[in-house]
Amino acid sequence: MIDLNLLLLFRAVAEEANFRAAADRLGVTRSAVSQGIRRLEDSLGVALLLRTTRSVRLTEAGVELQAALARPLTEILGTLDSLGAEDCPRGLLRIAATSIAEPFLSGPLIARFAEAHPRITLDITVTDAEFDIVAAGFDAGVRLGEVIEQDMIAVPVGGPQREAVVASPAYLAAQGVPDHPRDLVHHRCIGWRPAPNTAPYRWEFAEDGRPFDVAVDPQICTNDLRLMMRTALNGGGITFAPLQTLQPHLDSGELVSLLEEFLPSFPGFYLYFPQRRNMAPKLRALVAHVRGSR
């Protein structure tokens, strides 16, 4: 195997046509340059340079090697320089985001990031499955802070969140308004589950500072937040979802908020990623963008 550093040394000598100038360019001694060229020639079994006390010129083999190295070495060195470049991050950035991460998925944050970093391609998978993002080949994920592994770095996306219990005016007129979360077991509820064959999510509340949950046994259950909301809008029952997602329909009066005194705020969503000493510029750019958007 030929030491590839010797090829860089040869290129410098070939371009400078002078051992001392090549040594100065590379920051090594003239003796190191001379010994390196000799090692390269011995490895190849052919002379690459004709040198006298007054001049250095390439042999036919040297001319051929210089021509062969010119473009590949330039491209390789350019790539090495750009891999750590911060001025224009580039490449594919794969992110796994939970379906309820409205502050991240609503659009503005992603749109502004894409505009600011045209050479970064975003591949966002919306999934509520729990898995190791590193093993699955993702650069980062977006989830609620309470379910993120302790060995991950987490950066807040948006601020604290609050769940909301909602129903349409038509449903409430027909079925009545629950006074306490435990009354929900007597209502038609629209629930959420993360994946097939998993139990529906238990609706979480607090009373006098003490948390509790209610297993509502939903008549309608899905892993699609949009279906939950649309069903509630059409009088299908009471549903439970992040307030930020439901807010436009509450503002318009299409949905009514219920049991607000039992729904405290909680830490919201986080962009998380594995701890790395040398973070890729593309991921560093996203982290900076998320921090700057808060």
Q: Encode pLDDT of 19-28 as tens digits.
A: 988 998 888 9
* Residue 47 φ then ψ, to 5°: -80, 135
Could you tell me the CA-to-CA distances from 138 to 96, 225, 271, 292 in Å, in that order? 7, 23, 12, 22
Task: Identify the band that residue 95 occupies on the pLDDT scale cut at 50, 70 and 90.
Answer: very high
- Which of 46-50, 228-232, 264-268, 274-278 shows the lowest mean pLDDT across its residues? 274-278
Q: Tell me what pLDDT residue 84 has.
A: 59
Question: What does the CA dihedral 258, 260, 264, 266 come to, rounded to 10 degrees?
Answer: 50
**Domains of the chain: residue spans and CATH:** 4-84 (1.10.10.10), 91-159+268-292 (3.40.190.10), 161-265 (3.40.190.290)
273 close to 139: Cβ distance less than 8 angstroms: yes
Task: Identify the band that residue 275 occupies on the pLDDT scale cut at 50, 70 and 90.
Answer: confident
* Cβ neighbourhood burial of 14 (10 Å; 0-12, 13-18, 19+): buried
Task: Identify the band that residue 80 occupies on the pLDDT scale cut at 50, 70 and 90.
Answer: low
d(CA 252, CA 255): 8
- Sheet of 238-242: strand order equals 220-222, 189-192, 238-242, 163-167, 256-258
d(CA 250, CA 262): 18
Alpha-carbon torsion 202, 206, 211, 212, what sign? negative
